[in-house]
Structure 1
Amino acid sequence: MLAHMPRAEAQVDGSGEVPDGGAEAAMPESPALPEGLMPALPEAREAARKAQLDALFDQLADEQNTNWEIVQAQILRQWRQSGSPSMDVLMNRALAAIEVDDFDTALVFLNDLIRLAPDFAEAWNQRATVHFLRRDYGRSVADIERVLMLEPRHFGALSGLGIILDRLGNEAGALKAFRRVLEIHPHMPGAQEGVKRLSPEVDGRPI
Structure 2
Amino acid sequence: MLDELFARLRMALAPAEVEALQNGIWQVWLCSGDVALDKRLEAGMRAMQAGDHTLAIKEFTEIIERNPAFTEAWNKRATAYYLRGEYRASLDDIAETLQREPRHFGALWGKAGIMRQLGEYRRALQVLERLATICPNLPGLHEQQLSLREQLEEDGA
**Residue in structure 1 matching 2:131, options 178, 181, 193:** 181
**Residue in structure 1 matching 2:72, options 109, 112, 122:** 122
Q: Which has the larger radius of gyration?
A: 1
Question: In the TM superposition, what is the alpha-carbon distance from 1:203 to its structure 2 partner?
Answer: 6.4
Q: Is the contact made by 2:13 and 2:137 (CA closer than 8 Å) also made in structure 1?
A: no
Q: Is the contact made by 1:60 and 1:71 (CA closer than 8 Å) also made in structure 2?
A: yes
Question: In the TM superposition, what is the alpha-carbon distance from 1:97 to its structure 2 partner?
Answer: 0.7
Instruction: State the secondary structure of the residue aligned to 1:149.
Output: helix
Q: Structure 1 residues 56, 120: CA separation in 2 closer, same or farther (over 3 Å shift)? A: same
* Residue 4 (structure 2) pairs with residue 55 (structure 1): yes
Provide the C-alpha distance between the structure 2 equivalents of 1:178 and 1:132, rounded to a whole number of angstroms.
18
Q: Structure 1 residues 83, 138: CA separation in 2 closer, same or farther (over 3 Å shift)? A: same
In structure 2, give the amino acid aligned to 1:64: L
- Structure 1, unaligned runs of 5 or more: 1-51
Provide the C-alpha distance between the structure 2 equivalents of 1:93 and 1:180, rounded to a whole number of angstroms.
31
Q: Is the contact made by 2:75 and 2:93 (CA closer than 8 Å) also made in structure 1?
A: yes
Q: Structure 1 residues 185, 121: CA separation in 2 closer, same or farther (over 3 Å shift)? A: same
**Residue in structure 2 matching 1:165, options 115, 119, 142:** 115
Equivalent residue number for residue 156 of structure 1: 106
Provide the C-alpha distance between the structure 1 equivalents of 2:27 and 2:111, rounded to a whole number of angstroms.
21
**Percent identity over the alignment?**
35
More helix by share: 2
Equivalent residue number for residue 193 of structure 1: 143
Q: Structure 1 residues 86, 191: CA separation in 2 closer, same or farther (over 3 Å shift)? A: same
Instruction: State the secondary structure of the residue aligned to 2:55.
Output: helix
Provide the C-alpha distance between the structure 1 equivalents of 2:41 and 2:137, rounded to a whole number of angstroms.
27
* Residue 13 (structure 2) pairs with residue 64 (structure 1): yes
Q: CA offsets per residue over residues 120-139 of structure 1, 9 Å max, x none?
A: 11000000000111111000
**Residue in structure 2 matching 1:75, options 22, 25, 28:** 25
Provide the C-alpha distance between the structure 2 equivalents of 1:64 and 1:187, rounded to a whole number of angstroms.
6
Question: In the TM superposition, what is the alpha-carbon distance from 1:199 to its structure 2 partner?
Answer: 1.9
Provide the C-alpha distance between the structure 2 equivalents of 1:190 and 1:154, rounded to a whole number of angstroms.
17
TM-score by length of 1: 0.70
